[in-house]
Structure 1
């Protein structure tokens, strides 16, 4: 079992060349490889894994197959932190015996597992190596598929392989200053579950103070569902002050005002302001 720490940014298809140009010009970055990945996600008919906040997949890359189990984990300073188990496979079939010692074995009927959806995409990777950190940058472009339904998938992931975790945020913010991005807390698996009709998150206001993580989570769910996030009166007041203190944007209130007025999150993603504000809040 390993621990994964990454920052995931959703981008538009039209900005893929700009991301490639940016990372290719970094003196400390070297190109890794390009490969096509086919990922089959499994769950029970009652979506038991999804309720356990876990994702189980078999990934095919060329003639290699890997079975992976991930927990949802938590959110730390703008990055996802999750537990992850990986096992190489001789072929494309799921091996239930490998899950016997995992947290799922006692809570899920493994015999009921079947393919629920797929994510299929082209992945280009670069390695950023500095004196303080080693980071893998992955640029994914493809689709999420469930039956006859298909939605686009375009993401940049910064994953810490070694060293200072603060480097993840630094590179993410540098990219966000050049290309519109969206700090997305919704995983590929959650996108697939939603497309398959097995995940229907409700966007509700809480009873206590709004945290940065809570704010980012509501934005991510609003992006996924296409519905506007809801906020109580003055709920964003504290976050507005953080936005001004960050000095990343000259007028962060304009972004907050657009969100509060019900502007669709997917409409705001096309400009740089939203992504820059998200990352500034996560870094505060």
Structure 2
């Protein structure tokens, strides 16, 4: 079992191309592999795995197959932290014996697992080594399919290989200066479950008000609205506190413009064509991290 730490940014198709060009041009960068990945996710008919906040897939990359189990994990300063188990397997079918030794072995009826949705995309990898951290940048383009529906996929993942985890956010901020990005808390698996009709509206990313601050809740609501294509609810958030934090980052007016548009009911998708939201998301997180909060 390993621990995965990554930041995920959603982009428009044209900006994904721009992001790739910028990353490849950095002196700290080295071009990695380019692969087509076919991923089939499994669960039981009553979604036992999803209720356990885990995702199970078999990935095909060329002639190789990898079976992966991930927990939903937690959101830490813009990054997803998850537990992850990976096993090479001989073909596209699940190897149930490998799951028996995990924490799910006693909690899920493994014999009832069946395909639920797919995420199929092309991945271009760019490796970054800036002396403080080694980061794998995965630029993914493809589709998520489930429940007879499809959703386009265009995103950049910054995953920590080794070194200082704060460098993930630094590199994400640098990219946000080059093109519009959206810090997205919704994983590919959660998008697939939503398309398959398994997630109820508003539940893709839960809120735990006793444990999370206004910034976390704001980011989660943005992500839910992105997934569900709904308005962003702002009630119950301390917007003035967030505005003060944005001002400390030099983005007070930018944040005020974003909030004004959201309060007016402007669709989130319309705002994502500009860089304001992504820059505010990442700057607020960097400010909190820098303050030691």
Deviations 1:62-92 (A, max 9, x none): 0000000000111111111000000000111
Structure 1, 200-209 or 243-252: larger mean CA deviation? 200-209
1:232 aligns with 2:239: no
- Listed as ranges, the gaps of 5+ residues in structure 2 are 288-293
Structure 1 runs of 4+ aligned residues shifted over 6 Å read 203-209
SS of aligned partner of 1:136: strand
Q: What is the match of residue 24 of structure 2? A: 24
Report the counterpart of residue 274 of structure 2 in structure 1: 271
Asked if 1 retains the 8 angstrom alpha-carbon contact of 2:9 and 2:155, the reply is: yes
**2:255 corresponds to:** 252
Q: Distance in 1 between matches of 2:240 and 2:47?
A: 38
Change (3 A) 1:111 1:205: closer
Structure-2 separation of matches of 1:46 and 1:145: 19
Give the Cα separation in 1 of the matches to 2:237 and 2:90: 56
* Pairs aligned (count): 284
Q: Secondary structure of 2:39's partner?
A: strand
TM-score, normalization by structure 1: 0.95
Structure 2 CA distance, aligned partners of 1:271 and 1:186?
Answer: 20
Structure 2 counterparts to residues 194-213 of structure 1, below 5 A: 194-202=194-202, 210-213=213-216
TM alignment of 1:71-150, pairs within 5 A: 71-150=71-150
TM-score (norm 2): 0.92
CA RMSD of superposed structures (Å): 1.7
* Counterpart in the other structure of 1:2: 2
User: In the aligned structure 1, how far is the partner of 2:209 from the partner of 2:132?
Assistant: 41
Contact 1:205 1:230 in 2 (8 A): no
Please state whether the residue corresponding to 1:224 is helix, strand or coil.
Answer: helix
* Equivalent residue number for residue 157 of structure 1: 157
Asked if residue 215 in structure 1 is aligned to residue 218 in structure 2, the reply is: yes
* Counterpart-to-counterpart distance in 1, 2:49 and 2:240: 37
Counterpart Cα distance in 2 of 1:5 and 1:205: 20
